[in-house]
Protein backbone atom coordinates (compact mmCIF):
# COMPACT_ATOMS: atom_id res chain seq x y z
CA UNK A 1 0.00 0.00 0.00
CA UNK A 2 1.34 3.41 -0.85
CA UNK A 3 1.55 5.88 1.98
CA UNK A 4 -0.91 8.29 0.31
CA UNK A 5 -3.50 6.41 -1.78
CA UNK A 6 -6.16 8.40 -3.62
CA UNK A 7 -8.98 7.07 -1.43
CA UNK A 8 -8.36 5.97 2.12
CA UNK A 9 -11.12 4.22 4.01
CA UNK A 10 -10.54 2.88 7.50
CA UNK A 11 -12.65 1.07 10.11
CA UNK A 12 -12.00 1.91 13.77
CA UNK A 13 -13.74 0.11 16.65
CA UNK A 14 -14.46 1.52 20.09
CA UNK A 15 -14.79 5.15 18.98
CA UNK A 16 -17.35 6.34 21.53
CA UNK A 17 -14.68 7.81 23.82
CA UNK A 18 -10.96 7.94 24.58
CA UNK A 19 -8.42 6.45 22.19
CA UNK A 20 -11.02 5.45 19.62
CA UNK A 21 -12.64 8.88 19.42
CA UNK A 22 -9.26 10.61 19.26
CA UNK A 23 -8.13 8.22 16.54
CA UNK A 24 -11.26 8.68 14.44
CA UNK A 25 -10.95 12.48 14.51
CA UNK A 26 -7.19 12.44 13.93
CA UNK A 27 -7.45 10.09 10.96
CA UNK A 28 -10.28 12.17 9.51
CA UNK A 29 -8.08 15.27 9.85
CA UNK A 30 -5.34 13.40 7.99
CA UNK A 31 -7.52 12.61 5.00
CA UNK A 32 -9.06 9.24 5.83
CA UNK A 33 -12.74 8.50 5.66
CA UNK A 34 -13.44 6.76 8.96
CA UNK A 35 -16.13 4.18 9.59
CA UNK A 36 -16.44 4.75 13.33
CA UNK A 37 -17.80 1.76 15.22
CA UNK A 38 -19.89 2.60 18.29
CA UNK A 39 -22.27 0.74 20.60
CA UNK A 40 -24.88 3.53 20.69
CA UNK A 41 -26.15 5.61 17.77
CA UNK A 42 -25.99 8.81 19.83
CA UNK A 43 -22.24 8.38 20.32
CA UNK A 44 -21.80 8.07 16.57
CA UNK A 45 -23.73 11.25 15.86
CA UNK A 46 -21.69 13.18 18.40
CA UNK A 47 -18.49 11.95 16.74
CA UNK A 48 -19.72 12.72 13.23
CA UNK A 49 -20.45 16.29 14.31
CA UNK A 50 -16.69 16.72 14.87
CA UNK A 51 -15.87 15.65 11.28
CA UNK A 52 -19.13 15.55 9.30
CA UNK A 53 -17.61 14.93 5.88
CA UNK A 54 -15.13 12.27 6.94
CA UNK A 55 -16.82 10.10 9.59
CA UNK A 56 -19.54 7.52 9.07
CA UNK A 57 -20.79 6.01 12.33
CA UNK A 58 -21.61 2.32 12.43
CA UNK A 59 -23.45 0.71 15.33
CA UNK A 60 -21.67 -2.54 16.12
CA UNK A 61 -21.05 -4.93 18.99
CA UNK A 62 -17.73 -6.70 18.45
CA UNK A 63 -19.01 -9.66 20.49
CA UNK A 64 -22.00 -10.11 18.17
CA UNK A 65 -21.09 -11.66 14.83
CA UNK A 66 -24.38 -10.70 13.18
CA UNK A 67 -23.71 -6.99 13.80
CA UNK A 68 -20.15 -7.45 12.52
CA UNK A 69 -21.47 -9.10 9.33
CA UNK A 70 -23.98 -6.29 8.80
CA UNK A 71 -21.26 -3.69 9.28
CA UNK A 72 -18.92 -5.46 6.87
CA UNK A 73 -21.67 -5.55 4.25
CA UNK A 74 -22.42 -1.83 4.69
CA UNK A 75 -18.75 -0.89 4.47
CA UNK A 76 -18.30 -3.09 1.38
CA UNK A 77 -21.16 -1.27 -0.35
CA UNK A 78 -19.64 2.09 0.55
CA UNK A 79 -16.03 1.45 -0.49
CA UNK A 80 -16.69 -0.72 -3.54
CA UNK A 81 -13.61 -1.79 -5.46
CA UNK A 82 -11.41 0.60 -3.46
CA UNK A 83 -11.42 -1.62 -0.39
CA UNK A 84 -10.11 -0.74 3.07
CA UNK A 85 -6.81 0.97 3.76
CA UNK A 86 -7.00 -0.14 7.36
CA UNK A 87 -8.79 -1.85 10.22
CA UNK A 88 -8.05 -0.54 13.71
CA UNK A 89 -9.16 -2.90 16.48
CA UNK A 90 -9.41 -0.58 19.47
CA UNK A 91 -12.53 -1.63 21.40
CA UNK A 92 -11.63 -2.96 24.82
CA UNK A 93 -12.66 -3.27 28.45
CA UNK A 94 -11.00 -4.04 31.78
CA UNK A 95 -12.76 -5.62 34.76
CA UNK A 96 -10.33 -6.07 37.68
CA UNK A 97 -10.69 -8.88 40.22
CA UNK A 98 -8.56 -11.63 41.77
CA UNK A 99 -8.75 -14.70 39.57
CA UNK A 100 -9.77 -16.92 42.48
CA UNK A 101 -13.04 -15.02 42.94
CA UNK A 102 -13.72 -13.29 39.62
CA UNK A 103 -17.13 -14.20 38.21
CA UNK A 104 -16.56 -16.25 35.08
CA UNK A 105 -18.96 -14.02 33.16
CA UNK A 106 -16.63 -11.06 33.80
CA UNK A 107 -13.58 -13.10 32.81
CA UNK A 108 -15.23 -14.30 29.59
CA UNK A 109 -16.49 -10.82 28.68
CA UNK A 110 -12.96 -9.42 28.66
CA UNK A 111 -11.79 -12.17 26.32
CA UNK A 112 -14.86 -11.72 24.13
CA UNK A 113 -14.34 -7.96 23.71
CA UNK A 114 -10.55 -7.71 23.79
CA UNK A 115 -9.52 -10.87 21.94
CA UNK A 116 -12.32 -12.70 20.16
CA UNK A 117 -13.88 -9.44 18.96
CA UNK A 118 -10.77 -8.31 17.05
CA UNK A 119 -10.38 -11.76 15.49
CA UNK A 120 -14.01 -11.71 14.34
CA UNK A 121 -13.52 -8.21 12.90
CA UNK A 122 -10.38 -9.28 11.04
CA UNK A 123 -12.10 -12.30 9.54
CA UNK A 124 -15.10 -10.23 8.42
CA UNK A 125 -13.12 -7.35 6.91
CA UNK A 126 -10.13 -9.20 5.40
CA UNK A 127 -11.66 -9.35 1.89
CA UNK A 128 -11.84 -5.53 1.86
CA UNK A 129 -8.32 -5.21 3.30
CA UNK A 130 -6.97 -7.56 0.63
CA UNK A 131 -8.68 -5.50 -2.05
CA UNK A 132 -6.69 -2.39 -1.07
CA UNK A 133 -3.63 -4.18 0.31
CA UNK A 134 -4.58 -2.41 3.50
CA UNK A 135 -3.26 -2.75 7.03
CA UNK A 136 -4.37 -4.09 10.39
CA UNK A 137 -3.64 -2.20 13.60
CA UNK A 138 -4.46 -3.90 16.89
CA UNK A 139 -4.54 -1.78 20.03
CA UNK A 140 -3.00 -3.75 22.86
CA UNK A 141 -1.61 -2.70 26.20
CA UNK A 142 1.45 -2.83 28.40
CA UNK A 143 -0.80 -5.23 30.31
CA UNK A 144 0.07 -7.62 27.49
CA UNK A 145 3.73 -7.36 28.50
CA UNK A 146 3.55 -7.26 32.29
CA UNK A 147 0.87 -8.76 34.52
CA UNK A 148 -0.29 -7.13 37.74
CA UNK A 149 -2.37 -8.83 40.41
CA UNK A 150 -6.12 -8.23 40.21
CA UNK A 151 -5.71 -7.76 36.43
CA UNK A 152 -5.10 -11.33 35.28
CA UNK A 153 -8.12 -11.62 32.97
CA UNK A 154 -7.38 -8.30 31.26
CA UNK A 155 -3.73 -9.26 30.75
CA UNK A 156 -4.76 -12.67 29.42
CA UNK A 157 -6.74 -10.90 26.70
CA UNK A 158 -3.89 -8.50 25.91
CA UNK A 159 -1.24 -11.22 25.82
CA UNK A 160 -3.64 -12.96 23.46
CA UNK A 161 -3.94 -10.02 21.06
CA UNK A 162 -0.14 -9.83 21.06
CA UNK A 163 0.01 -13.46 19.93
CA UNK A 164 -2.70 -12.90 17.31
CA UNK A 165 -0.80 -9.90 15.95
CA UNK A 166 2.45 -11.88 15.73
CA UNK A 167 0.72 -14.74 13.93
CA UNK A 168 -1.10 -12.45 11.49
CA UNK A 169 2.07 -10.52 10.72
CA UNK A 170 3.69 -13.72 9.49
CA UNK A 171 0.59 -15.14 7.81
CA UNK A 172 -0.18 -11.97 5.82
CA UNK A 173 3.41 -11.09 4.98
CA UNK A 174 3.06 -13.14 1.80
CA UNK A 175 0.64 -10.51 0.47
CA UNK A 176 2.47 -7.47 1.89
CA UNK A 177 -0.36 -6.75 4.33
CA UNK A 178 1.21 -5.14 7.38
CA UNK A 179 0.04 -5.85 10.93
CA UNK A 180 1.01 -3.57 13.82
CA UNK A 181 0.37 -3.78 17.54
CA UNK A 182 0.05 -0.60 19.59
CA UNK A 183 1.18 -1.37 23.15
CA UNK A 184 -0.55 1.35 25.11
CA UNK A 185 0.78 2.74 28.37
CA UNK A 186 -1.69 4.76 30.48
CA UNK A 187 -3.49 7.55 28.65
CA UNK A 188 -6.20 9.89 29.89
CA UNK A 189 -9.43 8.08 29.03
CA UNK A 190 -12.67 7.04 30.70
CA UNK A 191 -11.13 3.65 31.51
CA UNK A 192 -9.63 5.11 34.70
CA UNK A 193 -13.03 6.07 36.03
CA UNK A 194 -14.38 2.65 35.14
CA UNK A 195 -11.40 0.99 36.84
CA UNK A 196 -11.94 2.96 40.04
CA UNK A 197 -15.64 2.08 40.03
CA UNK A 198 -14.91 -1.61 39.45
CA UNK A 199 -12.31 -1.68 42.23
CA UNK A 200 -14.71 0.07 44.60
CA UNK A 201 -17.39 -2.50 43.78
CA UNK A 202 -15.17 -5.52 44.38
CA UNK A 203 -16.41 -6.04 47.93
CA UNK A 204 -19.85 -6.80 46.56
CA UNK A 205 -18.59 -8.49 43.38
CA UNK A 206 -16.34 -11.08 45.01
CA UNK A 207 -18.05 -11.31 48.40
CA UNK A 208 -16.90 -10.78 51.96
CA UNK A 209 -14.46 -13.71 52.00
CA UNK A 210 -12.76 -12.74 48.75
CA UNK A 211 -12.53 -9.07 49.68
CA UNK A 212 -11.09 -9.86 53.12
CA UNK A 213 -8.41 -12.09 51.59
CA UNK A 214 -7.41 -9.64 48.84
CA UNK A 215 -8.10 -6.30 50.52
CA UNK A 216 -4.43 -5.28 50.69
CA UNK A 217 -3.74 -6.20 47.06
CA UNK A 218 -6.84 -4.36 45.90
CA UNK A 219 -5.74 -1.25 47.78
CA UNK A 220 -2.25 -1.49 46.27
CA UNK A 221 -3.64 -1.75 42.74
CA UNK A 222 -6.01 1.16 43.35
CA UNK A 223 -3.04 3.28 44.38
CA UNK A 224 -1.16 2.19 41.24
CA UNK A 225 -4.14 3.19 39.08
CA UNK A 226 -4.29 6.58 40.80
CA UNK A 227 -0.59 7.15 40.14
CA UNK A 228 -0.98 6.08 36.49
CA UNK A 229 -3.95 8.40 35.99
CA UNK A 230 -1.98 11.35 37.37
CA UNK A 231 0.82 10.96 34.83
CA UNK A 232 -1.14 9.64 31.84
CA UNK A 233 -0.70 11.09 28.35
CA UNK A 234 -3.38 12.40 26.02
CA UNK A 235 -5.03 9.76 23.80
CA UNK A 236 -3.77 11.80 20.84
CA UNK A 237 -0.32 10.20 21.27
CA UNK A 238 -1.92 6.83 20.54
CA UNK A 239 -3.87 8.24 17.60
CA UNK A 240 -0.62 9.52 16.09
CA UNK A 241 1.03 6.10 16.46
CA UNK A 242 -1.96 4.46 14.77
CA UNK A 243 -1.72 6.96 11.91
CA UNK A 244 1.96 6.11 11.49
CA UNK A 245 1.16 2.39 11.43
CA UNK A 246 -1.42 2.97 8.71
CA UNK A 247 0.62 5.27 6.47
CA UNK A 248 4.36 4.80 6.99
CA UNK A 249 6.43 3.17 4.27
CA UNK A 250 8.08 1.23 7.09
CA UNK A 251 5.43 0.57 9.76
CA UNK A 252 6.65 -0.97 13.00
CA UNK A 253 5.53 -4.38 14.14
CA UNK A 254 5.03 -2.98 17.64
CA UNK A 255 4.64 0.57 18.94
CA UNK A 256 5.26 1.14 22.64
CA UNK A 257 3.41 4.39 23.30
CA UNK A 258 2.62 6.41 26.40
CA UNK A 259 4.16 7.47 29.67
CA UNK A 260 5.84 4.63 31.55
CA UNK A 261 5.94 2.22 28.63
CA UNK A 262 9.72 1.85 28.53
CA UNK A 263 9.89 1.25 32.28
CA UNK A 264 7.31 -1.50 31.90
CA UNK A 265 9.26 -3.11 29.06
CA UNK A 266 12.39 -3.21 31.21
CA UNK A 267 10.48 -4.84 34.09
CA UNK A 268 8.82 -7.34 31.74
CA UNK A 269 12.25 -8.50 30.51
CA UNK A 270 13.48 -9.41 34.00
CA UNK A 271 13.68 -13.06 35.10
CA UNK A 272 10.47 -14.19 36.78
CA UNK A 273 11.78 -14.07 40.34
CA UNK A 274 13.39 -10.66 39.94
CA UNK A 275 10.29 -9.30 38.22
CA UNK A 276 8.01 -10.55 41.02
CA UNK A 277 10.22 -9.02 43.68
CA UNK A 278 10.34 -5.72 41.82
CA UNK A 279 6.55 -5.61 41.50
CA UNK A 280 6.00 -6.51 45.13
CA UNK A 281 8.30 -3.63 46.10
CA UNK A 282 6.95 -1.14 43.56
CA UNK A 283 3.29 -1.81 44.31
CA UNK A 284 3.65 -2.32 48.04
CA UNK A 285 2.09 -5.78 47.90
CA UNK A 286 1.78 -7.78 51.12
CA UNK A 287 4.64 -10.15 51.92
CA UNK A 288 4.07 -13.90 52.30
CA UNK A 289 2.40 -14.75 55.60
Q: Residue 136 pairs with which residues in a beta bridge? A: 87, 179
CA separation for the pair 59, 281 (Å, rounded): 44
CA separation for the pair 268, 143 (Å, rounded): 10
- 154 is known as an active-site residue: yes
Given the residues 32, 35, 125, 154, the one annotated as active site: 154
Closest by CA to 90, choosing from 39, 151, 156, 145, is 39
CB count, 10 Å around CB of 67? Answer: 16
For 84, the 3-state DSSP assignment is coil
DSSP per-residue string spanning 175-228: GT--EEEEEEPPBSSTHHHHHHHHHHTHHHHHHHHHHHHHHHHHHHHHHHHHHH
Q: Could you tell me where the DSSP H helices lie in 87-190? A: 104-111, 117-132, 152-171
Q: Which residues are designated catalytic?
A: 154
Amino acid sequence: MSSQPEHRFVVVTGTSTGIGAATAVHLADKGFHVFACVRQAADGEELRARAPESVTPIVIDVTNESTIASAASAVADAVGKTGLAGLVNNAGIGVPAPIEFQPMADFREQLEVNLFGPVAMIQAFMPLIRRAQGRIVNVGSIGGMLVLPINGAYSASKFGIRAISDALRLELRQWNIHVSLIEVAPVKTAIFGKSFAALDELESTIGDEGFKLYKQQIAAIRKAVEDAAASADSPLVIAKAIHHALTSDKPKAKYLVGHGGKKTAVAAALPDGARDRALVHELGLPKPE
